[in-house]
Amino acid sequence: MKPVISLNFVDYMILSAYVLITIIVGYSLKKYMKTSEDFFLSGRSLPSWITSLAFLSANLGALEVIGMVANSAKYGILTVHFYWIGAIPAMIFLGLFMMPFYYSTRVRSVPEYLKHRYNEATRGLNALSFAIMTLLMSGISMYAMALLFELMLGWSLTSSILLSALVVLIYVFFGGLSSSIYNEVIQFFLIWLGLLPVVYIGLHAVGGFQGLVAKIPPDFLHAWRQMGSASKNPMGVDWLGLVLGLGFVLSFGYWTTDFLVVQRAMASENLSAARRTPLIASFPKMLVPIIVVIPGLLAVALLPQFKVVHGGPTPDYNSALILMFAHYLPNGILGLAITGLLASFMSGMAGNVTAFNTVWTYDIYGSYIKKNMPDEHYLKMGKYATIFGVLFSIGTAYIVRSFPNLMDYMQLIFTFFNAPLFATFLLGMFWKKTTPWAGFWGLLLGILAAATHYLLYQFHILHYSSEMAANLYQAWWAWCVDFVMTIIISLFTARKDEKELVGLVYGLTPKVHSDERFFKKPAFWGGLSIAVMIVLNIIFW
């Protein structure tokens, strides 16, 4: 197949300038990396505007951008649920209620919190599963990206993989988390500035918003109106499944316990900045649909292959964004758009790699393999872990290449671990009677419940109207099992001494008082964010 996009020298100039600047930024941070905390947590020194943009950017990987444009072409405006109800409440909850426990206890990672709150076994279970999942995810997104570039730009799979892996390796190796965060901020601007032209020209082509509305099916235009029953909307999910599965369990599980995002907030300069990180990030998060949902809708309206035809062949939705680029962007701006995509890919990958090297060094290597070594030893280990993590991701990319189905399974397994973990955290932080072993067994049983549900669905014992509905309910049941079992087991096992739980559990921790001006207060930002989200949902009802 002939590639649909041909780049010229201007486009390549833009791409190279981006690669160059990421390496320069990473290298110039090298001299600040003196202790392991500098490397893994940016010395807890960054202002909240930087951490919040990085917080958002680490989540805005290329797989996410391309996948969500594809979802919008497939399901229409329903995709906004992944950005509004599926993210905002959880981000606010993290900022207002959970961040104080993560930040004030000076833990260095999410698994480390579990060790203090529960026990070594709970930490081990979480650290190990997180480390493996993270590397697999990073390899899978690398493969997906390289495959897309091969089809669309004609770059070979191996050269895309090696180029992006090498760049990420260089800048994370030198500058650790700071480098990853600084680059994520740069990537944030490139993703927006690279993707907006296609929105601008596309809307121009379709005749503005009114033209767009006239050219897409009516059920693509409303976010809630057809959520009454699963059979009436393109996604095949009812409102209950959406609210419980996506809005509650999956979203809270991801945003509040996934170290990939939490780590960015932990790098803040003080507690208040750490709490503001997810709250400020929630505003640009609500706007992300502008650059993912609108291009998807434009593809449906403008490109004949995405026209909604019942019974017709299924189009390759994943190519929607790139085909929009190919049709509407002239060289020059095209290079910027491809750079934006490459930037989003690198930010996602660097996010995975930095989260991995921290959990590996502190929670696996430093806790089970070589305890109590001098700090320089762990700093060095972090650098080796970066190399190892990148190599492992490359390996995964090639494994996925020979087993493309793996990709579907991975997303699923990811929900196995995140959904129940949120129950373990919720009880751990807000109910002081939760016992250490209840934490461990609750988490394990939750994971097993997700696995059981999955098997029941696969063997057609349980039925749902769509794959997505099955996923959302699976998350919900896994959470329930973890929640209920943790409570029951807590009643029969030994509790921790309350003195050990000070700072880790709500109710045993003194409230933070601050005399900051109102516009620096987390509660102000949280309230504003939820209000804006409600208004947006009403507008697109």
Partner 1 sequence: MENTEQRRHFFDLKIPLGSLLGFYGIVLFAYGIFGPKDIYDKSFHMDINVVWGILLIVISGAFFLSAYLGRRVRK
Decide whether 204 or 520 has the Cβ nearer to partner 1.
204
Q: Which of 424, 432, 429, 360 is nearest to 390 (CA)?
A: 360
Which residues contribute to the site for partner 1 (CB under 8 A)? 10, 13-14, 17-18, 21, 24-25, 28-29, 32, 43, 45, 47, 50, 178, 182, 185-186, 189, 193, 197, 200-201, 204-205, 269, 327-333, 336
Decide whether 26 or 76 has the Cβ nearer to partner 1.
26
Residue 402 vs residues 135, 140, 141, 317, 399: alpha-carbon distances, Å: 17, 12, 15, 22, 6
| Whether 175 contacts 29, CB under 8 Å | yes
CA–CA separation, 286 and 290 (whole Å): 9
Decide whether 228 or 330 has the Cβ nearer to partner 1.
330
Decide whether 15 or 131 has the Cβ nearer to partner 1.
15
Give the chain's radius of gyration (CA, Å). Answer: 23
Tell me which amino acid residue 344 is: S
Annotate 310-369 with DSSP letters as a single string.
TTSPPP-GGGHHHHHHHHH--TTHHHHHHHHHHHHHHHHHHHHHHHHHHIIIIIIIIIII
> What's the token pair of residue 196?
């907006």
CA–CA separation, 414 and 314 (whole Å): 26
Q: How far is the CB of 88 from partner 1 (least distance, A)?
A: 26
Q: How far is the CB of 348 from partner 1 (least distance, A)?
A: 19
Sign of CA dihedral 385, 387, 390, 391: negative
Decide whether 265 or 390 has the Cβ nearer to partner 1.
265
Decide whether 3 or 527 has the Cβ nearer to partner 1.
3
Decide whether 28 or 229 has the Cβ nearer to partner 1.
28
Question: Tokens 């072409």 identify what position?
Answer: 73
Question: Tokens 């379709």 identify what position?
Answer: 206
Q: How far is the CB of 133 from partner 1 (least distance, A)?
A: 30
Q: How far is the CB of 475 from partner 1 (least distance, A)?
A: 37
Q: Which of 118, 125, 122, 123 is nearest to 429 (CA)?
A: 118
**DSSP letter assigned to residue 502:** T
Residue 282 vs residues 68, 82, 87, 302, 408: alpha-carbon distances, Å: 18, 13, 8, 31, 28
Q: How far is the CB of 333 from partner 1 (least distance, A)?
A: 5
Annotate 434-455 with DSSP letters as a single string.
--HHHHHHHHHHHHHHHHHHHH
Q: How far is the CB of 166 from partner 1 (least distance, A)?
A: 20
Decide whether 45 or 119 has the Cβ nearer to partner 1.
45
Q: How far is the CB of 536 from partner 1 (least distance, A)?
A: 25
Decide whether 286 or 302 has the Cβ nearer to partner 1.
302
Q: How far is the CB of 154 from partner 1 (least distance, A)?
A: 19
Decide whether 187 or 257 has the Cβ nearer to partner 1.
187
Q: How far is the CB of 358 from partner 1 (least distance, A)?
A: 18
CA–CA separation, 229 and 184 (whole Å): 40
Q: How far is the CB of 327 from partner 1 (least distance, A)?
A: 7
**DSSP letter assigned to residue 507:** T
Q: How far is the CB of 4 from partner 1 (least distance, A)?
A: 13
Decide whether 10 or 399 has the Cβ nearer to partner 1.
10
CA–CA separation, 394 and 50 (whole Å): 29
